[in-house]
Copies of this chain bind each other. A is one copy, B any other.
Amino acid sequence: MLNQKAYQSLSHTFQRLHRFGHLGAIAGWDQAAMMPPKGNEARAAAQAELQVLMHQLITAPQLQEQLQAAEQEDLDPAQRANLREMRREWQQANLLPAELVEAKSLAAARCEHAWRSQRQGNDWQGFLLNFREVRDLGLEVMQLLGFDFDAGRLDVSNHPFCGGVPEDVRITTRYREDDFVQSLMGIIHETGHARYEQGLPRQWVEQPVGRARSMGIHESQSLSFEMQLGRSRGFLALIAPLIRRRFGDQPAFEADNLARLYTRVEPGYIRVDADELCYPAHVILRFEIERALINGEIEAEDVPALWDEKMMAYLGIDTRGNYRDGCLQDIHWTDTFGYFPSYTLGAMYAAQYFAVLRRQEPNLDARVAAGDLSPVFDWLQANIWSQGSLWTTDELARRATGEALNPAHYRAHLEARYLG
């Protein structure tokens, strides 16, 4: 009989963590998409209690011994990869004291709620009724992109996101009266996240090795969908008739015009509205501010001035006095510090995948335009989604594309699209 006592015990602990995380994820989605305002205080307390419990579970003293003992046990390669991921999660959690976890969870919930109410009114139900057509189009495009509606939903929230659990993926979108074109790309972006979750190896769904590899890789999926597939000639040719069917047969909705619309470059205040070319500037600006804060080179009160300076330097835009569209614009700083680089890492990985994909399938655009998206889905399913966390990030990229992250592909992509 195999000796796996410590491993099996760890496996049970991480299964429990997954299940508690499931409840936290659904309650978090509810908080953003469904919860009435007076529910926030109690929800924040409940979520903080759950975070503390999960932190206790993963910092329990016996885990260290079990992690050591399991190294000597009879494990197959996938189990060994799972053990490596367990250790990684364990190490990261053990850096933080429990009081900090609770305080951070409470503060984040309060901040996020304040952000929501302070940034904008919130009557999405009313909104929805007016935007049935846009929503229907969004659902149609999600279907086209292979989202499994028996294992997920689309709803509305202030900041679009992809939440829930692999078995039940919750996408949200927001609608702007003036720009359905952008809402649609937002949905395509979140559908990329969703298909990654829905495509993760199901037999490992409750274990660390079954999770998405990293947030950079996660963004590489959303950006593969939004930037590489979604704005490609082939895809725009495919969806142009769907748009015309709902919004009228106008020249603006010809594929060529859509392509121009979706590759227009114009520096602006807002990261989430930025075009593909300006986007990295928004990310670099935030990364530099975060790094300076963490290194203690600046204090929080220095952020607005630094923001103004960098926006002028990188994008030529004057942001003085406009906090709402300046350093208050992102939900991330209420909660997730250091996340922004994931977007640009993701964009670079996505360009690298599609360089391989287009080499393997030179007729990609023609097939996509004809409604056959399988080359994209099959490649991502085989090389990324099904691989979960079996490999390190570098190894994942190497197995999929033959090399680790190489920014040359991103540069080539931008040059082809914008200087071509």
CB–CB A49/B167 < 8 A: no
CB–CB A167/B24 < 8 A: no
> Which residues of A, 88-139, contact B by the 8 Å Cβ criterion?
none
Is A20 an interface position by the 8 A CB rule?
A: yes
Is A26 an interface position by the 8 A CB rule?
A: yes
Per-position 1/0 for A263-293, Cβ under 8 A of B:
0000000000000000000000000000000
Partner-contacting stretch, out of A31-39, A345-353, A391-399: A31-39
CB–CB B167/A38 < 8 A: yes
Partner-contacting stretch, out of A40-48, A64-72, A220-228, A315-323: A40-48
Contacting residues, chain B, for A49 (C-beta < 8 A): 16, 19-20
Contact for A26 among B19, B22, B27, B53, CB less than 8 A: B27
Contacting residues, chain B, for A41 (C-beta < 8 A): 167
Separation of A350 and B46 alpha carbons in the complex (Å): 34
Contacting residues, chain B, for A26 (C-beta < 8 A): 26-27, 30, 43
Contacting residues, chain B, for A153 (C-beta < 8 A): 34, 36
Is A50 an interface position by the 8 A CB rule?
A: yes
CB–CB B165/A36 < 8 A: no
CB–CB A168/B46 < 8 A: no
Contact for A168 among B16, B24, B39, CB less than 8 A: B39
Partner-contacting stretch, out of A144-152, A254-262, A330-338, A405-413: A144-152
Separation of A53 and B20 alpha carbons in the complex (Å): 10
Separation of A206 and B16 alpha carbons in the complex (Å): 25
Is A23 an interface position by the 8 A CB rule?
A: yes
Is A240 an interface position by the 8 A CB rule?
A: no
Closest chain B CB from A53 CB (angstroms): 8
CB–CB B36/A50 < 8 A: no
Separation of A108 and B49 alpha carbons in the complex (Å): 26
- Nearest opposing residue in chain B for A150, CB measure: B38
Contact for A151 among B34, B36, B50, CB less than 8 A: B36
- Nearest opposing residue in chain B for A16, CB measure: B49
Chain A residues touching B, range: 35 or more
Contact for A152 among B20, B36, B206, CB less than 8 A: B36
Indicate whether A27 sits within 8 Å of B19 (C-beta atoms), given known contacts A150-B37, A153-B34: no
CB–CB B35/A168 < 8 A: yes
CB–CB B167/A42 < 8 A: yes
Is A215 an interface position by the 8 A CB rule?
A: no
Contacting residues, chain B, for A39 (C-beta < 8 A): 151-152, 164-165, 167-168
- Nearest opposing residue in chain B for A33, CB measure: B34
Is A357 an interface position by the 8 A CB rule?
A: no
Closest chain B CB from A305 CB (angstroms): 38
Closest chain B CB from A41 CB (angstroms): 7
Closest chain B CB from A153 CB (angstroms): 6
Contacting residues, chain B, for A35 (C-beta < 8 A): 168
Closest chain B CB from A45 CB (angstroms): 6
> Which residues of A, 51-76, contact B by the 8 Å Cβ criterion?
53
> Which residues of A, 146-199, contact B by the 8 Å Cβ criterion?
148-153, 164-165, 167-168
Contact for A20 among B46, B148, B206, CB less than 8 A: B46
CB–CB A205/B50 < 8 A: no
CB–CB B22/A42 < 8 A: yes
CB–CB A36/B149 < 8 A: yes
Closest chain B CB from A52 CB (angstroms): 9
Contacting residues, chain B, for A152 (C-beta < 8 A): 36, 39
29 pairs, A vs B, C-beta closer than 8 Å? A16-B49, A19-B45, A19-B49, A20-B46, A20-B50, A20-B53, A22-B27, A22-B42, A22-B45, A22-B46, A23-B23, A23-B27, A23-B47, A23-B50, A26-B26, A26-B27, A35-B168, A36-B152, A36-B153, A36-B168, A38-B148, A38-B150, A38-B151, A38-B167, A39-B152, A39-B164, A39-B165, A39-B167, A42-B167
Q: A20-B50, A36-B168, A42-B167 are in contact. List 4 more A-B contacts (CB 8 A).
A: A20-B49, A22-B43, A37-B150, A39-B164
